[in-house]
A and B are shown apart, each in its own frame.
Chain A
Amino acid sequence: MAALKIKKGATSHSAYNLRPNFSDVIEKHTLAVLVENEPGALARVIGLFSGRGYNIDSLTVAEVDHTGHLSRITIVTSGTPQVIEQIKAQVGRIVPVHEVHDLTVEGASVERELAMFKVAGKGEQRVEALRLADIFRANVVDSTLESFVFEITGAPEKIDAFAELMRPLGLVEVARTGVAALARGA
């Protein structure tokens, strides 16, 4: 269960965290949602976002505790502070949701994403792609004489940067997993 422990932060049961901040600034927040691994659980969360007009920038989900039947959904969303608070409260009242954590405000956290890039090219372009991949610590997971598939893991910004560099070098296809995130510390 140690892997499931999320640092308890501002989202206690106290109403103090309901003190509003009605700013108009759009903020990006990463939410970690622990939900019972049952049919339709993901649909409930996604349906809430579409039904109430919230944004999903990225979303990942997988079972993280087989015996406890828990899945972890990591959602990157954006909105005003008021909307972010609403999202957390709305997700929190979905019956099979156990915990909602806003990793963006509850202390430091680490975020990682995995992506695969297919880059096709010949000659100098091909060599350059390989050289850059090396700098970004991307691995080659498939290769033909005219293409590579790179695998890269990192913060989303790093993956964005890698994508920008690959584009002129023959980038043909990208697959990204979306963000997985954990709070730092024990």
Chain B
Amino acid sequence: MKRQMTGAKMIVQALIDQGVDTVFGYPGGAVLPIYDEVFQQNAIKHVLVRHEQGAVHAAEGYARSTGKPGVVLVTSGPGATNAVTGLTDALLDSIPLVVLTGQVPTFMIGSDAFQEADTVGITRPCTKHNWLVKETDNLGPVLHEAFHVATHGRPGPVLIDIPKDVQFATGHYESPKPSISRYQPQVKGDMEEITELVAAMETAKRPIFYTGGGVINSGPAASQLLRELVDATGFPITSTLMGLGAYPASGDKWLGMLGMHGLYEANMAMHDCDLMINIGARFDDRITGVIDSFSPKSTKAHIDIDPSSINKVIRIDIPIVGDVAHVLEDLLKVWKSRGRKTNSEAVAKWWQQIEEWRAKECLKFEQKGKIIKPQHALTRLEALTKGHDRYITTEVGQHQMWAAQYLGFEEPNRWMTSGGLGTMGYGFPASIGVQMAHPEALVINVAGEASWLMNMQEMGTAMQFGLPVKQFILNNERLGMVRQWQELLHGERYSQSWSEALPDFVKLAEAFGAKGIICSDPDDLDDAIMEMINHDGPVIFDCLVEKHENCFPMIPSGKAHNEMLLPGDHETQGVIDSKGSVLV
């Protein structure tokens, strides 16, 4: 049924019809008609952020913790340009977002009008797709298509730029119909390739599952099928930073995260395996180490919904284009119908080898003395929050890697971190988005003090909307990861990697009306963490930690998986050669 309404009303109506319950945004001149409609309804909650970057990260947190697209509403010009970092972050991590930006009226486009920016031009490389809507009649179809594109195929952020006169004008609106979109990426994998993979699994002596964010993005069914597959075959499994929680950390086939700061046993197993089954990961450079020596002896299978991910960096022997859940379902069917075979004798030997690597205890650390080790802080956080309905977000840096190493994730969608873009300032607004979606849950942002300060203005948002997000700041008064690289690579010349003017975080919390906790003594840590958990409201937890702790294990730049630095390796000078030093 077609109905007549203004563009602004259409936008709100389309959001309601798409099942949106929360919008993160910030008003301005070019979106006032939309905000007027937001004012006159109760179906959609609007979260007023304090900076548009925060709106996008909050929407990412919402999307990643729910599996639903996150929605953002910002104004033209600076509103749109401030959203660019968040859009790029969501693009690299394949997070579905629908971002609505206001634009100057159509008749002023191109005149360098007040708060005009070429938003579709600026955001073209950092969105999956974007639209400038110049006719009110087109608004409905474009809005519906935007949700379809954001959530189908490899998910990603989309943006709709809407001039103000289009918002005021009246046009026809139709509710969304079952997909009439031309955009229908392939979800079923090729059965011949799947069968070839099953055949490889039946004979593999040293198999490994290497899984990524694609499993999470594919939905809860994908994680369920993955668990079934791993447990039925008995093959070891490792995951990228993005895929943590798809397989439970408590599962006995779990090797831990792989990659630059991954676990020794996971990286060694990747290096020595004879069959690598990549499920929804993309051979990122944080994962592979130096390409030439990446897992030299293995047959490589790759399941990915995006054909451009396959053979992009690593040569693949068994390519399967499709959605993880669909492919795993078929894979399990074929494997079962062929008699559930594995080379169990050889796989048992493989596990013996893995246990030897595990015996290195690469995450071991010693908490002694009166200074809190960051690893210890996270171990205690894990122990004290484990039983809770818990969601973790992080900022970017050493604390992020320690969180990935020392916290365990039992379910998908419980771990929100900026993987591809590595955006400092991501975690705090993301925690706000998560808490909006899960008001009763314990939402903790594991942060470093430097990252956290990048979007600290969102304290206002947390207070205004009564969001009890816990900001667990591992404060080393340093840009820890930068400092670590300067130690390893630049002769311990610590150029600009510490802050001499940090705020008093307790007072800062109090200035916003929140609770602040400071803890510097390991003996006080448990009580302080409990105080944070039990406080019904936002908390800034200033955990003063060892200032010069390095994050290990580590694959140095330009090295292979079997050339890791372990915590005991004190000789770190010169481990990165000139070839490796140009890598990021």
Contact = CB atoms under 8 A, between A and B. Distances in A.
Interface stretch (A84-92, A134-142, A159-167, A177-185): A84-92
B399 interface: no
Contacts of A66: none
A19 interface: yes
B575 to A, nearest CB: 29
A47 B190 CA distance: 31
Contact of B128 (A20, A82, A89, A95): A95
Given A40-B124, A47-B124, A18 B307 contact: yes
Nearest to A92: B307
Nearest to B186: A13
A15 interface: yes
B322 to A, nearest CB: 9
Given A86-B311, A93-B308, A43 B124 contact: yes
A43 B320 CA distance: 30
A93 B306 CA distance: 8
A98 interface: yes
Contacts of A40: 120-121, 124, 132
A15 B321 contact: yes
A4 to B, nearest CB: 15
Contact of B319 (A15, A82, A94, A98): A15
A39 interface: yes
A84 to B, nearest CB: 11
B469 to A, nearest CB: 35
Contacts of A22: 315
A104 to B, nearest CB: 18
B312 interface: yes
Contact of B121 (A16, A43, A94, A96): A43
A20 B310 CA distance: 9
Given A15-B190, A89-B308, A39 B121 contact: no
A123 to B, nearest CB: 51
B316 A18 contact: yes
A18 B310 contact: yes
B125 A90 contact: no
A168 interface: no
Residue from A18, A47, A92 with most neighbouring chain B CB atoms (10 Å): A18
B516 to A, nearest CB: 44
B227 interface: no
Contacts of A20: 311, 315-316
Given A40-B120, A98-B182, A82 B193 contact: no
Interface in A1-41: 13-16, 18-20, 22, 39-40
Interface residues of B, number: 28
A94 B183 CA distance: 10
Nearest to A44: B124
A90 B316 contact: no
Contacts of B125: 47, 51
A15 B183 CA distance: 19
B340 to A, nearest CB: 25
A18 B311 contact: yes
A51 B127 CA distance: 13
Contacts of A92: 307-308
Given A15-B190, A20-B311, A40-B120, A95 B319 contact: no
B432 to A, nearest CB: 30
A156 B307 CA distance: 32
B310 A39 contact: no
B331 to A, nearest CB: 14
A13 B153 CA distance: 14
A14 to B, nearest CB: 6
Contacts of B128: 95
A95 B149 contact: yes
B50 interface: no
B129 interface: yes
B124 to A, nearest CB: 6
Nearest to B314: A20
Nearest to B194: A15
B149 A86 contact: no
Nearest to A19: B319
Residue from B125, B190, B307 with most neighbouring chain A CB atoms (10 Å): B307
Nearest to B310: A18
Contacts of A13: 186, 190, 321
Contacts of B121: 40, 43
A86 B312 contact: yes
Interface string A74-106: 000000001001100110111110100000000
Contacts of A44: 124
A133 B547 CA distance: 78
Nearest to B183: A95
Nearest to B132: A39
Interface in B121-166: 121, 124-125, 128-129, 132, 149, 153-154
B307 A95 contact: no
B311 A82 contact: yes
Contacts of A93: 153-154, 306-308
A18 B319 CA distance: 7
A86 to B, nearest CB: 6
A89 B132 CA distance: 26
Interface in B299-348: 306-308, 310-312, 315-316, 319-321
Contacts of B307: 15, 18, 89, 92-93
Contacts of A96: 129
B151 to A, nearest CB: 13
Contacts of A43: 121, 124
A15 B320 contact: yes
Ranked nearest first, the 3 interchain pairs of A and B with the lowest CB-CB distance are: A89-B308, A18-B319, A95-B129
Given A15-B190, A16-B190, 10 more contacts: A13-B190, A15-B189, A18-B311, A40-B132, A47-B125, A89-B308, A94-B129, A95-B149, A95-B183, A98-B182
24 contacts: A13-B186, A14-B190, A15-B307, A15-B310, A15-B321, A16-B190, A18-B311, A18-B316, A22-B315, A43-B121, A47-B125, A51-B125, A82-B311, A85-B311, A86-B311, A89-B307, A89-B308, A89-B310, A92-B307, A93-B153, A93-B306, A93-B307, A94-B129, A96-B129
Interface of A: 13-16, 18-20, 22, 39-40, 43-44, 47, 51, 82, 85-86, 89-90, 92-96, 98
